Structure 1
Amino acid sequence: PVIHLIDKAMANSTAVMNYFDPSRMKIDRGLFLGDGTPFVIEEGKEYERFKFTENGISPRVPAGTKGAVFWNTGDEHTELGHVTEDPVIRERMMDKRMGKLALALKEIPQNEQFNYFGDRKPDLVVASWGSTKGAILEAMERLRKEGRKIGFLQMRLILPFPADAVTHVLKQAGKIAVMEMNYVGQLADVMTEYTGLKADYRIVKFNGRPITVDETYESIRNILDGKSEKRVVLTHGA
């Protein structure tokens, strides 16, 4: 499954969008068995829904295909979908599943993994996700006019996490701050898990109100001036 991660401000907001033309979209249903001809399971053979393949993706067939029985279980299974406790098959299936994450990271364009704005070797990089983007960019514009060197890392993909590329970005910065609309700073923990780099500052807001430009500007400026606590709680709108 794909989980679309949003925050409260995004969930409750409205926006004017250009007309969406569905005819321009191509539906990619993934890898199917066969070459476009009618799907037929040869007599005497069984459909291997979890077949081991070179790229780790098992071909599917449309529901209702004659002779294709789809066995599914919550336990470890064979290529046919039958329960198994064979340790060799278990290892191969785990490698197959985890390999899909590496394949996804390779196939997803980098601008859909994250975006970077600002100076290449900033004194401070602010990492965030979701509705905070607008406030951070506007605050950055004000700070850069004051001669401050700032970077903004907008995360768009959390799993699989683009660890190598994000590590490279973070290592260019003097300090790292993570701004989030939750209590603990969840992205900061995820970034540390995958990159080994710890955020120097956590800027959080959890009173149910969107993060504003003014409090973003003030919190970042205080960090740059050496006047900030390690954990900053934003409260505008309370």
Structure 2
Amino acid sequence: MERLICLAAGYAFGLIQTGYIYGKIIHKDIRQYGSGNAGTTNALRVLGKKAGAVVFLGDFLKAVVLCLLVRFLYGKTQPEMAPLLMLYGGLGVVLGHNYPFYLNFKGGKGIAATSGVIISMDWRITLVCLLAFIVSVAATRIVSVGSLLVVSIFLAMWIGFGLFGLLPLTGAYLTESYIVVLVFAALAYWRHRANIKRLLNGTENKFGSKK
């Protein structure tokens, strides 16, 4: 039951579509421009740096706030399970962000929200993901490369840390957490499937491009 509660609460938080809301304020539906995505990268490309920063922070913080709320609610009553419930809540945020029912399930790609989950779960993984994102985007000028690298590192490090006893989960909860984090990565890859195709074809947009 706790898992479903956290998923549902997360989905509700994920429905706060920062990119869509920002666009509506300036009378522009961001989903009608650029990649048609309601996330940070398209906001940056279509609406500019200020919009990109606002959209990222909004989508990032809704995941952080939800994870903190779950920790507050379950940290003392179910401490052995609380980190797992935080992951479920964060997953709900990503699902709500990617598939908002009131926008015909057409939202973002969930990377900013996933980043909010990562920083809420483990600072060590956060540092590695941040460094990898900066270096990869600086080297390739392709945001999707950095985004997919982040979720891949999150999955690999989470499993690695779990195997070496470096996570606050044990037993069945730890094994279950591997599956949840795998779903984070799978969702990211699925939402980036068009980007992956363009990467393979050598036609992916680069950072700063107006295409």
Whether TM-score is above 0.5 comes out as no
Using structure 2 for the length normalisation, give the TM-score. Answer: 0.28
Greater helix share, structure number: 2
Using structure 1 for the length normalisation, give the TM-score. Answer: 0.26
The structure with the largest alpha-carbon Rg is 1
Ranked by relative contact order (alpha carbons within 8 Å, sequence separation 6 or more), the top structure is 2
Greater strand share, structure number: 1
